[in-house]
A and B are shown apart, each in its own frame.
Chain A
Amino acid sequence: MIRGTVLINRDICKGCELCIAACPQDSLGLSDQINRHGYRYVQLVQDNCTGCINCALVCPDCAITVYQEPRAKAKSSAQRVPAL
């Protein structure tokens, strides 16, 4: 399983929950705390994120940065040997 994680900008998150619904790993949940705008912001609730970026793609406020373990070097597009 590829490992990843997310960084949520809690100051601009509006707690819409769309990322929670989009996460195939159920990694995200609402905090009990509110941010300065009065919204319950989203946080990681399980350390099982794969870095699939689904949550970031549906976030209307662009509040999510996604990280992932580097994939095996040979598979990265820069290093792939062109098929002859």
Chain B
Amino acid sequence: MESAATTNHMEIVYERPVTLTDTPMHYCPGCGHGVVHRVLMEVINEMGIQDRTVGVAPVGCSVFAYNYMNVDMQEAAHGRASAVATGIKRVLPEKYVYSYQGDGDLAAIGTGETIHTVNRGENILMIFINNAIYGMTGGQMAPTSILGQVTSTTPYGRKSDLNGFPLKITDLVTQLPGAYYVTRQSVHTAAAVRKLKKAIEASFKYQPLKKGTCFIEVVSNCPSGWKMTPIEANAWMEKNMFPLYPIGDLKVPKQN
């Protein structure tokens, strides 16, 4: 362990939360999935709801989320995480329930489940990791891939006439009456991570109110799929994804 200064007289100001298991994560270096896992688990730890929380993992790179998240977890079939979370929440309404999905999972094969879950106003938190690509399967175009983006299935860049337009599914679900809180955040800087943490905290605090679905998009990276270093990937994301997917709240609960 490297530490130039002695820690004897110092206090710990940041440490790994107990809600993250000790299992090292399998994600590529610099992948945003790890940061989101960690922030989510920090909130659950700080709110003291570890034994009252149930998470639903997707198919995609985060398919093994249940190995890292030290709460009750259920794996869902591809795209169906919000439907599975609906069932869990309805049977166990006193639990805090969240789903965790990538863009291929939530906005391609699971589009129907996503829209209907929010339209029913299910009292769950949906976390949506938008890295504009299918990371797990080798970097194919996702519905959220941006125009011009080179992927393994759009080697000359995504073209709207051939591949359609990027799907802004978060804007879409914002329009639905069942949406209670919708926000778009990121994890590329310490300040962004702090804001995401606040958004997750707010979502769990809203859940017992039974007012509808909380939906958090995290604009994230995929250094391997994008064929960039993590630093390059975050810079590319800021320059190219943020204009299309601007960071900020899309729907906030009305003050009583």
Residues in A lying within 8 Å of B, measured CB to CB: 3-12, 14-18, 21-22, 31, 39, 43-44, 46-47, 49, 51, 53-54, 56-62, 64-70
In the assembled complex, the CB of B194 is this many whole angstroms from the nearest CB of chain A, namely: 7
Residues in B whose Cβ lies below 8 Å from that of A11:
24
Choose from A7, A44, A47, A57 the contact partner of B194 (Cβ within 8 Å): A57
Q: A21-B231, A66-B12, A68-B10 are in contact. Are A7 and B189 (CB under 8 A)?
A: no
A-B CB contact pairs (8 Å), 28 listed: A5-B4, A5-B7, A7-B2, A14-B30, A17-B229, A17-B230, A18-B30, A31-B2, A44-B2, A47-B4, A47-B5, A49-B4, A53-B13, A53-B14, A57-B14, A57-B194, A58-B190, A60-B30, A60-B34, A62-B34, A65-B14, A65-B16, A67-B7, A67-B11, A67-B12, A67-B13, A68-B10, A70-B9
Interfacial residues of chain B within 17-37, with CB under 8 A of chain A in the complex: 20, 24-25, 27-35
Q: A15-B29, A57-B194 are in contact. Are A7 and B35 (CB under 8 A)?
A: no
Residues in A whose Cβ lies below 8 Å from that of B7:
5, 7, 67
Residues in B whose Cβ lies below 8 Å from that of A47:
4-5
Residues in A whose Cβ lies below 8 Å from that of B25:
12, 60-61
Are B11 and A70 in contact, CB atoms less than 8 angstroms apart?
Answer: yes
B251 within 8 A of A: no
In the assembled complex, the CB of B47 is this many whole angstroms from the nearest CB of chain A, namely: 18
In the assembled complex, the CB of A65 is this many whole angstroms from the nearest CB of chain B, namely: 5
Q: A10-B2, A39-B29, A60-B32 are in contact. Are A5 and B10 (CB under 8 A)?
A: yes
Are A64 and B14 in contact, CB atoms less than 8 angstroms apart?
Answer: yes
Are B38 and A62 in contact, CB atoms less than 8 angstroms apart?
Answer: yes
Choose from A18, A31, A59 the contact partner of B234 (Cβ within 8 Å): A18
State A22–B191 Cα separation when bound (angstroms): 10
Are A8 and B2 in contact, CB atoms less than 8 angstroms apart?
Answer: yes
Known: A57-B194, A60-B25. 14 other contacts (CB 8 A): A16-B29, A47-B4, A51-B10, A53-B14, A54-B190, A58-B35, A58-B187, A60-B27, A60-B29, A60-B34, A60-B38, A62-B34, A67-B11, A68-B13
Residues in B lying within 8 Å of A, measured CB to CB: 1-7, 9-16, 20, 24-25, 27-35, 38, 187-190, 193-194, 223, 229-231, 234
Q: When A and B form their complex, which 3 residue pairs have the shortest distance between CB atoms, in order from nearest?
A: A60-B34, A16-B30, A14-B29
In the assembled complex, the CB of A73 is this many whole angstroms from the nearest CB of chain B, namely: 12
Residues in B whose Cβ lies below 8 Å from that of A14:
28-30
State A10–B2 Cα separation when bound (angstroms): 9
In the assembled complex, the CB of A70 is this many whole angstroms from the nearest CB of chain B, namely: 5
In the assembled complex, the CB of B201 is this many whole angstroms from the nearest CB of chain A, namely: 15
Residues in A whose Cβ lies below 8 Å from that of B12:
65-67
Are B35 and A3 in contact, CB atoms less than 8 angstroms apart?
Answer: no
Q: A44-B2, A61-B25 are in contact. Are A66 and B30 (CB under 8 A)?
A: no
In the assembled complex, the CB of B11 is this many whole angstroms from the nearest CB of chain A, namely: 5
State A11–B234 Cα separation when bound (angstroms): 24
Q: A14-B30, A65-B16 are in contact. Are A7 and B230 (CB under 8 A)?
A: no
